[in-house]
Amino acid sequence: MTGSMKKYGLQLVVLISVMAGLCLPVAEAAETTLQVRATDQGSVGQLVLDWGHVQPFSAELEDGFLYVRFTTPFDADFTEASNILSSYVGPGEILEGQQSFRFPLKGDIQLSAKNNGTEIVLDLTKSKVATGKSRVKIRSGEHDAYTRLVFDWPGKSAKYSAEVSGSELIVTFDAIADIDAGKINEDPPALIKSLTAQIFGTTTRVVISLSSDMVMSSFTNENSVVFDVRTKTNSAAAEQKPAPQIEVAAAPIAAPVPAVLPEPVVPEGQETDEIVQTAPALKTDMTFAVVVTNVLEIEPENYDNLKPDELDEISPASGSVITSIGPTVIVDAPPVIVDAPPAIVEAPPVPRQEKQVEKMPAKSVLNRKSVAAQNSEKMAVKIANLKDGFRLIFPWQTPAAMAMFEHGGAYWVVFDEGVSADFSGLAGPYKFLVTESSQLAHETATILRFKFRDGYMPKVSKANDDWHIDFQLDAKKVVENAIEVQSQAPTLSGPRLFVPAVQNGEKVNFTDAETEHELTVVPLHVAGWAFVESKTYEMITILPTVQGIALFAEHGDMDVAVEQNGVVVSARAEPGKMGKLLAEKPEPTLTLDPTPTPNFHKAHFVKLADWRQVKPLYFTIRKQELQNHAALAGPEDKLKSLMSLAKYYVAHGFHADATGVLAEIKKRYQKIGKDREFRLLVGLSSFGLHHLDIAKHNLFHADFDGDVEVAPWRGILSAELGNWEQAAQDLNYGAGAFNIYETSIQNRFNLVRARAALEDFDVSLAEKILALVKEPKSNEQASARALLQGMAALQLSDLPLARLKFDEALELGYRPIAERARFTKINGDLEAKEISPEDAIRELEKLDFAWRGDALEVDIQKRLGDLYVATGKIGNGLETYKRIVRNFPKSPYSRGLGRKMNDMFAELFLEGGADELPPIKALAIYYQYRELTPVGRKGDKMIRILADRLARIDLLEQSAQLLEHQINFRLKGEERADAGTKLAVIHLWNDKPKDSLRVLYETRWRQLPPSAKKERKYIEARAQAGLQNYSDALDLLAQDNSDDANILRADIHWKSKNWAKAIPALERLIGNSGSDTSEDLDRMDRQRIMQLAVARSLAKDKSGIRKMRATFRPKLEGTGDLAAFDLITEENDPSASEFRERATIIAKVSQLESFMAGYREKLNNGEFWATY
């Protein structure tokens, strides 16, 4: 056998072993004994579980416990293991269902688990990190001249020392810290190779491996410690960089000069409501007139030259390093240099020193166009950091209504009060967030136009008179109060629309120069009221807004009137046209190509046709050429040749080969993972291999948001994941790009798109999309089209056509779709009542046996389970649901079925559903699914109800087992003692007085109320009597003359055949009844009379018998006990037959016990679990 064959032979043996291991639990009984071993190796405790075969398992640390779960019931003894591992865990216990166990943890324990053949090995390690450790996160940023590492401490940063030794930066913190270095080591930034952290006593030592010839500088900022690593060359260049030239002219001036501050670091996650843009004044005794001839740049960043991929490094969403940066102030410069005066630093007016200065072209420091409103009042627009975003602040001195909306490629912010806006606070790094800001002149209002960086969603709020706009990264639009439109009857002046809105401001009219639309805006004084979607009418369009109301006229004249409770829009038009001008436009009708995006026929990104290069006939030849080229390519061409080979494999559908090439590329070029094209290839190849999680991670990356060529692939991936709503959105969006692909791929997209429409019950759209499917060349696509046509007909209740199409799909013979067609046909026939539920169950059981492994299997089992439950086969239904939950945990059904199983179980055993089942069947269902027993009082009640029902039908052993489990594992304190009392009674009924005493002793509780203690004393006395310890039993009742004690005392005398004491005891009980007639004589009194008669008969007390006949015989007239009473108390010698009959009656009466009969009566009346 060759080495290769040996390898594959070994793999086959392992595979068979694993499959055998997975199959064994099905046939195993619940009594499988698990062999348990344990060792303590000092800091590591090891628990070994030997099944004797390969066994699937899971092990987790949850809420202070070690949980280990299996798919097969087992039995095990954890006593010895618990003792050996006592410094790690407490006593182990098997949980309900006997498919899992748990140990309580002692201290901070870490777990590692592995499968070693037939053994499962669990290593428990004591954490070496002190309880007071600090969790420290690390951030990194790559810059042109240096790499920055930031250690974010949760509280005040610890003191530290740092030095560069050779190629290592060694940092020692004077505190114990849990350093999270995973992301750094996974993708190291430039100049840094790796990072390790160790704890020595009360210090933490971090060793950072660097590239050669590195230098380091560091500083602290609040809770952060920052290290900048750079090459010695860059360090020398930074030191030698000349300072900007400043011309200084001697002239007295009183204005302070702002200092240029180094870039601070904002601790990760810090959030603030407002950062006031101020610059500290430089204290000096010297007075100068300063003219800045060029703009100072803040070191080490040059924000004007940042590359696009570096923008995220200054974004608040990525652990921002942005803080408030004061505007650059030009003192005594020509007034044209700054559009709007600085809002923060205001110097008193100073006489200008006459000096000839060379005129330079006017340059705006803020590089923003601003047109001041015709108002002398000024408002400084401020900016503040938020976690994952930023906030614009509009501080008003007086109340102003606000509106905000997007139009013409920009956001408009409109206030109904007029001020001059100052944008100087948006300088520095913020210009990459607020890319444009300007003000449109208006007589009475403030109209501001902004452009913001993509990816941020605004939300408006209000604090006193200040308006805030919060921008959150990747957030969805949220409208707290959606504004709706109400149509009104046309008036003589034309059609009318009414927009209900409260606390309206004054309407503002202006023109958007980009679109030339005449906009009418109605700001609102209350935040959170906006239009969710646009409303388009024949004459006007109401825009979606973030705040307030905005609209414009499509054509004709329009009046907007602001009323107390809303806004009225009126249209003026020619007679005969008024009814249409404000009629809402219908949805656009779909033609043969119902696509929301323009069609195009040339691929720009997903170029499968170009990547394919050759026809399939020449695949092997071209593959060998590409492989040779990749193998022989030099370093400069290696990446390109490997990418070309990967594209070739993806285009031809060889996804496994493509995955191998992409893995090699990733290994060689670690940062290639950020490349957009590489990410696309990984997503497509993973999708082809049905590795859906990897495909989703890559294809749904933000890089592809809005890409019409990637959207179809996202759509069919969402369909595979069962998210049909997302599939419809992506396929509808990308439908215009279908034409760039070959016919088979176009058909694939359209078939999935039609299925998504049917999942949304949009039959009309589905039929139009199916009309776009070109004649399929494969059985797969032909049968898929027939199936979808049948599903559409079924939704239209056209059952004959649906059957015809389903049969067509079955005849084509492509099994994955043929079986789906069979399944859908069965459901259709059942809904049309062409077959009975029982017939449907039989057909679905066949289908369930024949089909495995995908979403169809889950659908079949779900339908089967529903039918089982509907036809009363509760056990079968629960078993089917359990299979789905266990085998398909990620199915959309699983979570809902888990809840449904719990509800069904509760309905059976809490709400009386199990009463309709045979008791043995109910008990079997409980034991099979008792892991569904809810925790807490609800579960305890469920067990009590089932135990009562079993006891009522004399299944005493099973009832006792339920209560034993409840006492041992679920209950504590008084509740445990109460359950023990009931279990003791059940043991007495089952003639097990010894077990009754054991339970009473094990469940003692000092804080029981006196009544409960007395009841337990009586039960103990009865159990002692059952063990023939009569004197002990009577001692327990000494000094107790209550009715219950007298009843029990009489029963004990009777059971011990002490007739002399039994007779007076019974007479006292009968005398207490007070009954004079047979109507008043209750069953218990008649029983006691019969007992007394037997006792006197056996004691040969003839005079007592005569007295009884005289006293009680009249009371027994008309009762079923009279004949027996006469036979027992007859003075004549009985014949042989009469003697046998008398003996039989005496034997029956001898079994009667008043005390235990009382408990039976409580059980039958549902009072057994009442509080005593």
Output the pLDDT for position 597.
53
What pLDDT score was predicted for residue 411? 94
Mean pLDDT of 747-755: 93
Q: What is the CATH number of the domain that holds 1005?
A: 1.25.40.10
Q: Which residue has the tokens 């939300």?
A: 459
76 and 118 share a domain?
yes
Please tell me whether residue 47 adopts helix, strand or coil conformation: strand
**Is residue 529 helix, strand or coil?**
strand
Residue 215: give the domain boundaries: 134-240
CA distances in angstroms from 111 to 35, 65, 116, 123, 181, listed in the order given: 20, 11, 16, 6, 20
Per-residue confidence band for 972, with pLDDT thresholds at 50, 70 and 90? confident
Pairing outcome for strands 224-231 and 147-152: antiparallel
Of 62-71, 740-749, 1128-1137, least confident by mean pLDDT is 1128-1137
Closest CA relative to residue 491, chosen from 554, 571, 563, 580: 571
Residue 897 is assigned to a structural domain of this protein: no
Q: Looking at the domain assignment, is residue 148 inside a domain? A: yes
In the predicted structure, residue 441 carries a pLDDT above the cut 50: yes
- Lowest mean pLDDT, pick from 409-418, 496-505, 1126-1135: 1126-1135
Rounded CA gap, 773 and 785, in Å? 8
Assigned domain for 785 exists:
yes
Comparing 1-10, 144-153, 455-464, 814-823, the range with the smallest average pLDDT is 1-10
Examine residue 1 and state whether it is found in any structural domain, yes or no: no
pLDDT score recorded for residue 268: 45
Q: Which stretch, 20-34, 173-187, 342-356, 737-751, has highest mean pLDDT?
A: 737-751
Higher pLDDT, 369 or 566: 566
Reply yes or no on whether the pLDDT at 146 is more than 90: no
Which pLDDT tens digit goes with each residue over 680-733?
Answer: 999 999 999 999 999 999 999 998 988 889 999 999 999 988 899 999 999 999
Top pLDDT among 546 and 1091 is at 546
Domain boundary among 473, 491, 523: 473
**pLDDT for position 385:** 82
pLDDT value at 1163 more than 80: no
- Does the pLDDT of residue 1146 top 80, yes or no? no
Whether residues 996 and 1063 fall in one domain? no
Percent of the chain with pLDDT over 70: 73
User: According to the model, what pLDDT value does residue 473 have?
Assistant: 82
Q: Cα–Cα distance between 607 and 611 in angstroms, integer? A: 6
Question: What pLDDT is recorded for position 600?
Answer: 62
313-351 pLDDT, tens digit per residue, is 333 333 333 333 333 333 333 333 333 333 333 334 434
Structure confidence at residue 1081 as a pLDDT band (50, 70, 90):
low
- From the list 1137, 1140, 1112, the residue with the least C-alpha distance to 1126 is 1112
Question: How would residue 589 be classed by pLDDT, with cut points 50, 70 and 90?
Answer: very low
445 & 496 share domain = no
144 shares a domain with 80: no
Average pLDDT of every residue of the chain? 75
Of these ranges, 233-247, 345-359, 930-944, the one predicted with the greatest mean pLDDT is 930-944
- pLDDT of residue 266 exceeding 80, the answer is no
What pTM does this model have? 0.40
> Quick one: pLDDT at residue 393?
93
Residues 427 and 308 in one domain: yes
What pLDDT does 1141 receive? 61
pLDDT of 1124 higher than 70: yes
Burial class from Cβ neighbours inside 10 Å (0-12, 13-18, 19+) for residue 1143 reads exposed
Helices (H), 796-936: 799-812, 815-831, 837-850, 855-870, 874-887, 892-909, 919-928
Confidence at residue 930, expressed as pLDDT on a 0 to 100 scale = 65
Q: What's the confidence (pLDDT) of residue 966?
A: 79
The secondary structure element, H or E, covering residue 1137 is helix 1136-1150
3-state secondary structure 614-628: CCHHHHHHHHHHHHH
| Close Cβ partners of 1006 (under 8 Å, ≥ 6 residues apart) | none
Q: In sequence order, what are the beta bridge partners of 402?
A: 415, 524
Instruction: Find residue 65's DSSP bridge partners.
Output: 62, 104
- The pLDDT value recorded for residue 500 is 80
Query: Do 346 and 452 fall within a single domain?
Result: yes
Domain boundary among 473, 498, 524: 473
Q: What is the pLDDT of residues 602-638, one digit of tens each?
A: 888 999 999 999 988 889 999 999 999 999 999 888 9
314 and 460 fall within a common domain: yes
Are residue 536 and residue 414 in the same domain, yes or no?
Answer: no
**E-assigned strand segments in 256-326:** 289-291
Give me the CATH number covering residue 227: 2.60.40.3470
Does the pLDDT at position 366 exceed 60? Answer: no
For residues 454 and 1108, what is the distance between their CA atoms, to the nearest angstrom? 104
Q: Summarize pLDDT for 401-433 with one digit per residue, the tens.
A: 999 999 988 999 999 999 999 998 887 767 778
- Give the pLDDT confidence of 157-210 residue by residue, as tens digits: 788 989 888 888 999 988 888 887 777 877 788 888 888 888 877 788 898 988
Please report which residue ranges of 188-300 form alpha helices under DSSP H.
232-240
> Is 823 among the domain residues?
yes
d(CA 808, CA 782): 9
Better-scored residue on pLDDT, 297 or 118 = 118
* The pLDDT of residue 1138 is above 90: no
- Each residue of 574-586: pLDDT tens digit? 444 434 444 455 4
- Tell me, yes or no, whether 943 and 1036 share the same domain: yes
- Residue 1096's pLDDT is 81
Who's near 1141: CB < 8 A, 6+ residues apart?
A: 1127
Identify the pLDDT of residue 710: 93
pLDDT of residue 912: 67
118 in a structural domain: yes
126, 148, 172 — which closes off a domain?
Answer: 126
Residues 458 and 503 in one domain: no
Q: At what angle do helices 635-652 and 619-632 cross, to 10 degrees?
A: 160
Count CA atoms closer than 13 A to 460's CA, side-chain side.
27
The answer to whether position 494 is within a domain reads yes
Assign 70 a pLDDT band (cuts: 50, 70, 90): confident
Q: Count the domains in the chain.
A: 7
Strand order in the sheet with 535-536: 508-512, 517-522, 549-553, 540-542, 535-536
Check residue 632 and give its pLDDT.
92
| 453 assigned to some structural domain | yes
Report pLDDT for 576. Answer: 41
Average the pLDDT over 210-226 and give the result: 84
The mean-pLDDT minimum among 793-802, 983-992, 1117-1126 falls in: 1117-1126
On whether both 303 and 385 belong to a single domain, the answer is: yes
**Residue % of the chain over a pLDDT of 90:** 20
Please tell me whether residues 163 and 33 are part of one structural domain. Answer: no
